[in-house]
């Protein structure tokens, strides 16, 4: 087994462990991280002019956005916020398709910035979510942001 194969195996095991032990909040973070990594890889492959690899990574990013982030939204419970996120995810997918077709690095950068902003906001609510979970354990009502998180991403 060469070093690259060993590193990939270790990474896959680490990711599988993270996913199986993650709470819903952490799962969304993992999806953001995965999409950002796929876009970064696509950009590298685009610059190397490796068309097949570029397409693979862009497809992976679109799949994470559409089948992970967007599909996990609960539009009924999340209301306008969930609908706005759904629309933003749709826009990102379209920009990634354009980036793939036109080898547009700026479109990749745009989607990466949008995802980074959302990931940062999601990370910021983590302390509120965790403190709400601790309050729930003591039978105290949860804080409003924790409820918004549960309603927006209700399918995880």
> For residue 52, what pLDDT is reported?
97
pLDDT digits (tens, 9 = 90+) for 104-147: 999 999 999 999 999 999 999 876 655 555 555 554 444 444 55
If DSSP states are collapsed to H, E and C, what string results for 59-75?
HHHHHHHHHHHHCCCCH
Mean per-residue pLDDT, 49-62: 97
Mean per-residue pLDDT, 17-44: 86
25's CB contacts (< 8 A; 6+ apart) are 122, 125, 126, 129, 149
CA neighbor of 70 nearest in space, from 153, 11, 138, 126: 153
pLDDT digits (tens, 9 = 90+) for 123-134: 998 766 555 555
Q: How far is CA 36 from CA 39, 77, 109, in A?
A: 5, 27, 10
Look at the domain 3-152 and name its fold: 1.20.120
> For residue 23, what pLDDT is reported?
81
CB 80 within 8 A of CB 87: no
């Amino acid at each position: 087994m060469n070093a690259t194969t060993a590193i990939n195996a270790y990474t896959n095991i680490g990711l599988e462990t993270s996913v199986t032990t993650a709470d819903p909040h952490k799962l969304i973070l993992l999806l953001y991280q995965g999409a950002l990594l796929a876009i970064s890889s696509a950009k590298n492959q685009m610059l190397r002019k490796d068309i097949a690899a570029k397409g693979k990574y862009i497809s992976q990013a679109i799949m994470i956005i559409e089948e992970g982030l967007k599909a996990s939204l609960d539009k009924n419970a999340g209301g306008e916020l969930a609908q706005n996120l759904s629309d933003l995810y749709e826009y990102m997918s379209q920009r990634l398709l354009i980036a793939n077709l036109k080898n547009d690095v700026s479109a990749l950068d745009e989607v990466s910035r949008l995802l980074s902003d959302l990931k940062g906001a999601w990370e910021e609510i983590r302390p509120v979510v965790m403190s709400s979970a601790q309050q729930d354990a003591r039978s105290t009502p949860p804080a409003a942001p924790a409820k918004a998180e549960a309603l927006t991403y209700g399918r995880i």
